[in-house]
Amino acid sequence: MKPTAIQRPRRGRHPLPWRAAWHAAVGMVGVVGIVGVVGAIAPSSAQARIVHQERSVYSTILVDQRGSIICMQFNVRRDQRNQSCLDRRRPKVMLFPYTRMMMASLLLNPEPRRILMIGLGGGTLPLALDELLPAARQDVIEIDPAVVRVAREHFGFAPSERVNVVPQDGRVFVKRAAQRGDRYDLIMLDAFTSEYIPEHLMTREFLEEVRGLLAEGGVLAANTFSISDLYAYESATYASVFEPFYNMKPNDSGNRVIIASLAPLPDSAELERRAAALADRLKPYGVRFDEILPLMDTRQDWDPDARILTDQYAPANLLQNR
């Protein structure tokens, strides 16, 4: 699953590594990397300490803690990226902008009964959805059993009768789910390695397979980057399967969240009405619709001639041949 190094976002435009960013702003601690910038966290003078480290089949997993904030990272290197962070003083609050943006998928379907999550990390999204939607059933797909174990031991994640964890490659699961005739009301794509999204989870063929798993009116939310060299190609690929979609890009994060639906997208007035109905439920998680609604843009901001990514035309080959 590990992509080649040339899939990395452009150097010089990537969010700062967390070790440099903790004191990057007054009144804010920037925990950054592959999942973006953490906002509105009180600065801490505590020294970071490693609380867990292990080498799995897929990566080296590192867990470190600074004050009340604990973070999971894949691979130990100088420009370390955080995959997931938790503030133990406020465990419900979603620290990363991308997780809060992905919760906007509930504006398109506020009561999904079956949910598919590809990529676990520390379990922030499955935990929140389980608490918010006790009638829902989730399938959480994580290729690395070590990540599941670390999420349980350090981030409070726990599989249950409602949250089924499957240790499997996401694309293999999607293919087998299609053969079974499974359908989901909400699908969230959040699978990252230490570099970027695995190549086989970025192609038109994969997205078509995912679309085939959506129930009537089903919703897709996908976490990608807004600063990657692949931005235009990813956008064109998603548009070929899900156009139109909401393209959400906050100014303070390198992440981009795509939200699409098999149903027509609601207009701004309808989004505001639905946001008002959901606001109190999502407030404990740090989700603020006054910040999210302005980001829900459907305008195309990429090269319309960008080539679509396919199983035969992979991201690594794309960049090598530019």
Q: What amino acid positions are annotated as catalytic residues? A: 190
Give the span between the Cα atoms of 259 and 187, in whole angstroms. Answer: 10
Angle at 252 between CA 250 and CA 256, to 5 degrees: 40
Assign residue 199 a region (left: φ > 0; alpha: ψ between -120 and 50; beta: otherwise): alpha
Residue 289 phi/psi, 5-degree rounding, is: -75, -20
Give the span between the Cα atoms of 257 and 290, in whole angstroms. Answer: 17
Residue 205 phi/psi, 5-degree rounding, is: -60, -40
Give the span between the Cα atoms of 202 and 319, in whole angstroms. Answer: 14
Give the span between the Cα atoms of 48 and 36, in whole angstroms. Answer: 19
Which of 299, 301, 300, 280 shows the shortest CA–CA distance to 289? 280
CA distances from 207 to 165, 204, 226, 236, 242 (A): 21, 5, 19, 12, 9
Give the span between the Cα atoms of 85 and 289, in whole angstroms. Answer: 22
Which of 100, 70, 68 shows the shortest CA–CA distance to 286? 100
- DSSP assignment string, 158-181: ---SSEEEE-S-HHHHHHHHHHHT
For the chain, give the longest Cα–Cα distance: 53
Strands 163-166 and 214-225, sheet pairing: unpaired
Angle at 13 between CA 7 and CA 17, to 5 degrees: 85
Which of 85, 142, 72, 150 shows the shortest CA–CA distance to 286? 85
